[in-house]
Chain A
């Protein structure tokens, strides 16, 4: 299967896609491809030279995204996209570094890096695709699996509880926090554009249920999309403590948090200036 996009829109997007790598590996109906498309669109519109955009990922279905995007890209080991991105950004502050990875990668095995990068306010962008599950390894439960859900490692129902990602990121001090779905392409693209401008830690959660998750939990792909379409509300001022993902209530989307704490990298630069200037 090859990627077909309406002809009028092909060319500009193609310039930032690794066309020779298509067809991509994602299942038909998966939302990750949409995230790639929005990223490419945003990168082209950003006004930042394409050679300054860098994408970094860990391991997983979502983490395959950089492999299709024609900017400098690093597909590192599972859970370690954030520290790799911090190394790049600290060494070369003129790079616009974006991490694209899954919930398991960023919040389970990489959870400690997420925690501390947010606290330090490292100047990176994070696009976290929350598909409720470990997609790449075949549907095991993860840190965003919903209460009671069936997965290949919770055959009797999930009994742990899920992270509320925007609430978590906000509590940790992120400068920018948003949540969208792959059905909100315009908003997602615009939010990415805003994210590029943030000096500090910026995160967009993209809620995009995995098809395996749907299969195991009686939600065929079309029903899932219909649910996302009909049961989302946009509330930029939502009380984040109440916006956990739960199919029994509407999914709250929006650009929730904007803070202006100077980033870790800005402060490191100031520190060097202070030390060298004074000495």
Chain B
């Protein structure tokens, strides 16, 4: 990286604090630059193209590099390579490309490469509905690659959150050395609305935790830490990294003890920190007899429906998970303890509802409002469902 250039020019080339009218995808690209992203690798796919196009124009202005690769497989792998060379890196895609990236996401989880992937969800399955909305990748984001691992995924619901959560995604990726997925739907990615960019000194930016030991004593996957400090290539640590199950030295191992130690740590570093990472928003849930759970664009429709229901005297609230993974189940606990009914509305055939059932089945009634991809349920559609459950 042209270090000097980026240092001299980066600050002044970033989006100035202020108020903008901006598209979600572009807000995410600008946010990535603010977070320190200086390498983007990707392959064109609707409805995420604005991110790549914007990065191809903006990255050189801040001393960074853009490469349009031959496919999404190369893209997700290249950003892991760049991250290990010490450069914050990102890719963006949609369903078909996200499917192709899965083996690489598993690798990033295994070798603890901090990368950010924005998946602007379109309708599926397969090539599906390239230009239309879907929320069908929620489960894939968590379970898409083989084996046991953890990732973090954010569910932006506005252009503001495309900006804020993309910065947060970089911070989480680098704090926990984990692949982080920003999971907007097509509507949130492509809508244009107000964005407020705060002063940069109000935006915390996380980086790697550097090793303190001299190279001879450095263990790249030291199990003393949940998140081992990270050395970059070229710094003299001369470390080894493998996608095979590995010991603390980074060497392949077939020992069950080592496998247990590694897989447990990869999972624990996220699960033990779920409350620090997980986020949600609750609206009007304090006295609610019925809580609608919705995320992304659907949460905006649901909020309108909740307000309509309130006007009609129904005690209804909205719970909006801001992280899909870890799922912020604790935010629903109070409503569940009160015996509130739960209605999960999502643009898929019932994905997030499974997680809520996992936590709260047999305690309260959990209803699923499924909605095939291609369109957003209108507030009226959700209100009908609310009344059906509330009065039924």
A contacts, CB < 8 Å to B: 18, 21, 50-52, 54, 56, 59, 66-67, 70-77, 80, 82-95, 112-113, 115-116, 268-269, 271-276, 279
A95 and B85 in contact, given A51-B235, A70-B238, A72-B239 (Cβ under 8 angstroms): yes
Q: List 24 A-B contacts (CB under 8 A).
A: A67-B251, A71-B238, A72-B240, A73-B241, A74-B241, A75-B243, A80-B73, A80-B77, A82-B74, A83-B41, A83-B69, A83-B73, A83-B74, A83-B81, A87-B80, A87-B82, A88-B85, A91-B38, A91-B82, A91-B86, A93-B1, A113-B74, A272-B60, A272-B65
Min CB distance B88 to A, Å, is 9
**B residues less than 8 Å from A116 (CB atoms):** 69-70, 74
- Which residues of chain A come closer than 8 Å to B238, judged between CB atoms? 50-51, 70-72
Pair B233/A77 contact, Cβ less than 8 Å: no
Report if B78 contacts A (CB, 8 A): yes
A271 to B87, CA, bound (A): 18
Q: How far is the CB of A48 from chain B (nearest CB, A)?
A: 11
A70 to B69, CA, bound (A): 30
Q: Are A88 and B60 in contact (CB under 8 A)?
A: no
Given contacts A51-B236, A72-B238, A72-B239, contact A88 B81 (CB under 8 A): yes
Does A91 lie within 8 Å of B85, measured CB to CB? yes
Contact (Cβ within 8 A) B69 A67: no
**With the chains together, A73 CA to B111 CA distance in Å?**
12
- Dominant secondary structure of chain B at its interface with chain A: mixed
Q: How far is the CB of A19 from chain B (nearest CB, A)?
A: 12
B237 / chain A contacts, CB cutoff of 8 Å: 72
Are A74 and B60 interface neighbours, CB within 8 A? no
User: Are A74 and B81 neighbours in the complex by a CB distance under 8 Å?
Assistant: yes
> Is B244 an interface residue, CB under 8 A from the partner?
yes
Contact B243 A54 (CB under 8 A): no
Q: With A87-B39, A91-B86, A272-B5 in contact, is A75–B78 under 8 Å at CB? A: no
A62 CA to B143 CA, complexed, in Å: 31
- B5-41 vs A, CB cutoff 8 Å, 1 = contact: the mask equals 1000100000000000000000000000000001101
Bound-state CA distance A59–B252 (Å) is 12
Q: Are A90 and B39 in contact (CB under 8 A)?
A: yes
Which B69-101 residues have a C-beta within 8 angstroms of A?
69-71, 73-75, 77-87, 89
Q: Which residues of B contact A52 (CB under 8 A)?
A: 234
Q: How near does chain B come to A67, taking the closest CB pair, in angstroms? A: 6
Q: How far is the CA of A84 from the CA of B251 in the complex (A)?
A: 19
Q: In whole angstroms, how far apart are the Cα atoms of A70 and B308 in the complex? A: 66
Determine chain A's interface SS by DSSP, over half rule.
helix
Cβ of A59: which chain B residues have Cβ within 8 Å of it?
243
**A92-B87 in contact given A67-B242, A87-B80 (Cβ < 8 Å):** yes
Contact A88 B5 (CB under 8 A): no
How long is the Cα–Cα vector from A71 to B61 in the complex, in angstroms? 33
Residues on the A chain within 8 Å of B162, using CB: none
- Let me know if B103 is at the binding interface, CB within 8 A: yes
Interface centre among B81, B85, B104, B251 (most CB of A within 10 A): B81
Residues of B within 8 A of A76 (CB): 77, 80, 107, 111, 243
Q: Which residue of A lies closest to B233 (CB)?
A: A72
- Enumerate chain B residues within 8 angstroms of A271, measured Cβ to Cβ: 60
The verdict on A92 contacting B86 (CB below 8 Å), with A73-B240, A74-B81, A87-B81 known, is yes
State which of A77, A88, A89, A115 has its C-beta within 8 Å of the C-beta of B70. Answer: A115
- Residues A87 and B41 in contact, CB atoms below 8 Å apart: yes
Is B278 among interface residues, defined by CB-CB distance under 8 A?
A: no
Closest to A109 in B: B73
Contact B243 A77 (CB under 8 A): yes
Instruction: Sort A-B residue pairs by CB-CB distance and give the 5 closest, nearest first.
Output: A87-B81, A87-B78, A91-B85, A83-B74, A91-B87
For the complex formed, measure the closest distance between the CB of A15 and the CB atoms of chain B, giving whole angstroms.
Answer: 10
Nearest chain-B residue to A81 (Cβ)? B77
Partner among B2, B75, B84, B111 whose Cβ is within 8 Å of the Cβ of A88: B84
Contact of A54 among B67, B80, B233, B242 (CB under 8 A): B233
Q: Is B156 on the interface with A (CB-CB < 8 A)? A: no
Let me know if B63 is at the binding interface, CB within 8 A: yes
Query: B82 to A273, Cβ gap below 8 A?
Result: no
Chain B residues within 8 Å of A82, by CB: 74
Contact A86 B240, beta carbon cutoff 8 Å: no
Q: Measured between alpha carbons, how far is A279 from B107 in the docked complex, in Å?
A: 39
Chain B residues whose CB sits within 8 angstroms of the CB of A71 once the complex forms: 238
